[in-house]
Amino acid sequence: MNIVYPPLVEQAYQMMKQLNKNVSKQDVYKKLIEINMIDQQGNPTKWALDNRLVSEANTIEEARNKLNQINPQEIKDQADADIDNVFSRMPRDAFKYLNEHDGYAINCRELKKAILSALKDGSLSPIGRKHWLEVLADINSQED
């Protein structure tokens, strides 16, 4: 059976094949989904488009160059700022030290209120917003 892969996968495969002769198109497809570059239909994700890693006219080579321009320290700093943003909205007693092994427990009700407040006022980065929405979904699923 001959599988037809989307253009972004084909472009990425051509680039990756130069770096690793043993890479398969399926490996490239799975990796592009894993790093949130494409969805399962092979379309660029909103994140990839918002971060200008791909566009209608972009090639994977252009996306790779843009990815190489991202400073990991800036991403870490923004993630830390997003965590501080949410946690600073919580009362001190929402954090309870359990013991040396387990560390701290966080009051889920207070965390949920803090996340909703940060989401409402738009003060989180796009990546932080996505992360905290996932945390909120986890909290909500545990409440059911």
Q: pLDDT by residue (tens digit) across 44-91?
A: 888 888 877 776 545 566 666 766 776 777 777 888 899 999 999 999
* Whether 82 contacts 132, CB under 8 Å: yes
pTM, 2 dp: 0.52
